């Protein structure tokens, strides 16, 4: 018979080894019974069916289902003892089924209640029995005492197994987290190596390009002065040369900003004032359409040891990106708070968002999704934050906006690799 299971489920076997054991046990009890009592066979059959069917019905794994299952075993065991000589029945051990089930699935109180019910049920048969000898009463007392001892020991072993299972799960979770942290650290090291090599190449290339660009611009200016005014086409072309040289020089400056190590001028600075400078620059000059910038600053943040000029550049770039990603008349929120002794600055927009496949690349140099972008804005931002010993991260959903979070330590420490998400 083929197994049937969903993609994330273990296949359910038609016959399990424990099913065969239960069926063999109850069949043997029915066959060797000298009484041949029909009621006895019915009770044994009921218990066998319950033991086989219970693990296959999910409801029995719930708390109400477990209580019902244990109750049915108590009733079936009580009736089996009742139809087979009562207090002298050899089936008194059947009462271990509900006791063991309670000990392995319930707490201490549930186990105690079920054990007391099993003992009381067995003792109740004394009311239907004739006076006994002392030896018989001792035997009955031993049987009654046997039930709580087994229940207690079973619960102790079950609890030890549960503790051990929890410990193994905790170790597995710690190993999974350690592996995840290790992969993140390896990615950060690889990225840092790539950026270091790229920075060296960029710095050398930029310096080599600046000299010929200066010559080209000087030549274009001389050409412009020497051309007659009526030669409009030549003057326009010379102007194109000068403007393109200026644009290329600006690009080289950005390359050098990214490549050269920053010389930080660290002083205790007001984070809110630095943010206000960036917000004011954005509001006055840059957005292609009106935006509303809401400031939600925490009063609990003390002065932060930082290079205010560089950090203001970080804030300005993140605000500019938020404006460019937002629709007209959108709202952008700048929020600060203190988190575990670290200043968190969040830039929240309701714009187009970032595709998940691009999220890991936006801090890489020269990666951009903008038609006229160079792909150095966010890498420079990440570099400045990293040099301050901080971290920058992003949360984004396409069509719903993005949240860039900058975490800055209150006092400067050795920079750690940025966590980019």
Write out pLDDT tens, residues 27-84.
777 776 666 677 878 888 888 888 888 888 888 888 888 888 888 888 888 888 888 8
Q: Is pLDDT at 120 greater than 60 in this prediction?
A: yes
**Pair 250, 383 in one domain:** no
**Pair 30, 51 in one domain:** yes
Confidence of residue 273 (pLDDT cuts 50, 70, 90): very high
Q: Which range marks the domain in which residue 59 is found?
A: 17-130
Q: Is pLDDT at 256 greater than 80 in this prediction?
A: no
**Residue pointed to by tokens 């929120």:** 333
CATH number of the CATH domain containing 228: 1.10.287.130
Write out pLDDT tens, residues 140-171.
888 888 888 888 888 888 888 888 988 999 99
Among 345, 352, 343, 337, which residue's Cα sits nearest to residue 396?
352
Confidence of residue 255 (pLDDT cuts 50, 70, 90): low
Whether 218 is covered by a domain: the verdict is yes
> Mean of the pLDDT values across residues 91-104?
86
Among 134, 130, 43, which residue's Cα sits nearest to residue 91?
43
Provide the mean pLDDT of the chain. 79
**Pair 215, 288 in one domain:** no
Number of domains making up the chain = 3
pLDDT of residue 7: 44
Q: Is pLDDT at 5 greater than 70 in this prediction?
A: no
- Least confident range from 9-18, 183-192, 223-232: namely 9-18
Whether 310 is covered by a domain: the verdict is yes
**Pair 379, 272 in one domain:** yes
**Pair 75, 200 in one domain:** no
Confidence of residue 346 (pLDDT cuts 50, 70, 90): very high
Q: Is pLDDT at 347 greater than 90 in this prediction?
A: yes
Higher pLDDT, 364 or 151: 151
pLDDT of residue 289: 60
**Pair 275, 398 in one domain:** yes
**Pair 88, 125 in one domain:** yes
Residue that terminates a domain, selected from 208, 237, 259? 259
Q: Are 383 and 347 in contact (CB under 8 A)?
A: no
**Pair 190, 254 in one domain:** yes
Confidence of residue 129 (pLDDT cuts 50, 70, 90): low
Residue that terminates a domain, selected from 215, 232, 259? 259
**Pair 275, 392 in one domain:** yes
- Residues 6 or more apart whose Cβ sits within 8 Å of residue 87: 81, 122, 123, 125, 126, 128, 129, 140
Count Cβ atoms within 10 A of the Cβ of residue 332 and give its class: 0-12 exposed, 13-18 middle, 19 or more buried.
buried
Higher pLDDT, 391 or 235: 391
**Pair 224, 279 in one domain:** no
Higher pLDDT, 258 or 73: 73
Q: Is pLDDT at 188 greater than 90 in this prediction?
A: no
pLDDT of residue 6: 45
**Pair 280, 403 in one domain:** yes
Whether 204 is covered by a domain: the verdict is yes
> Mean of the pLDDT values across residues 188-210?
70
CATH number of the CATH domain containing 313: 3.30.565.10
**Pair 248, 273 in one domain:** no
């Amino acid at each position: 018979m083929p197994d049937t299971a969903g993609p994330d489920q273990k296949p359910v076997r038609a016959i399990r080894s424990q099913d065969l054991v239960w069926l063999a046990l109850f069949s043997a009890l029915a066959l060797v019974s000298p009484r041949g009592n029909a009621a006895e066979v019915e009770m044994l059959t009921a218990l066998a069916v319950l033991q086989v069917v219970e693990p296959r019905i999910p409801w029995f794994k719930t708390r109400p289902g477990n209580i019902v299952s244990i109750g049915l075993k108590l009733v079936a065991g009580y009736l089996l003892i009742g139809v087979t000589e009562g207090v002298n029945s050899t089936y008194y051990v059947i009462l271990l089924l509900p006791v063991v089930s309670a000990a392995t699935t319930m707490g201490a109180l549930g186990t105690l209640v079920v054990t007391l019910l099993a003992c009381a049920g067995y003792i109740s048969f004394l009311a239907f029995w004739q006076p006994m000898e002392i030896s018989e009463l001792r035997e009955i007392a031993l049987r009654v005492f046997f039930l709580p001892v087994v229940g207690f020991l079973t619960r102790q072993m079950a609890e030890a197994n549960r503790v051990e299972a929890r410990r193994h799960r905790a170790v597995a979770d710690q190993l999974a987290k350690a592996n995840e942290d290790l992969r993140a650290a390896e990615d950060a090291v690889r990225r840092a190596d790539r950026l270091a090599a790229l920075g060296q190449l960029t710095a050398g290339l930029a310096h080599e390009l600046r000299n010929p660009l200066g010559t080209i611009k000087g030549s274009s200016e001389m050409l412009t002065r020497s051309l007659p005014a009526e030669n409009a086409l030549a003057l326009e072309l010379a102007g194109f040369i000068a403007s393109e040289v200026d644009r290329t020089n600006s690009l080289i400056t950005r390359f050098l900003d990214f490549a050269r190590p920053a010389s930080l001028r660290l002083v205790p600075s007001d984070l809110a004032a630095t943010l206000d400078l960036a917000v004011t620059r954005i509001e006055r000059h840059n957005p292609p359409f009106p935006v509303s910038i809401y400031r939600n600053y925490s009063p609990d943040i003390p002065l932060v040891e930082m290079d205010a000029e560089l950090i203001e550049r970080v804030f300005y770039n993140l605000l500019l990106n938020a404006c460019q990603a937002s629709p007209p008349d959108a709202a952008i929120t700048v929020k600060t708070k203190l988190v575990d002794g670290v200043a968190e600055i969040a830039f929240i927009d309701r714009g187009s968002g970032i595709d998940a496949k691009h999220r890991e690349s936006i801090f890489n140099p020269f990666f951009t999704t903008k038609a006229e972008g160079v792909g150095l804005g966010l890498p420079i931002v990440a570099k400045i934050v990293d040099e301050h010993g901080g971290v920058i991260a992003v949360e984004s959903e396409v069509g719903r906006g993005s949240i860039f979070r900058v975490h800055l330590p209150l006092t400067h420490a050795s920079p750690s690799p940025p966590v980019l998400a």
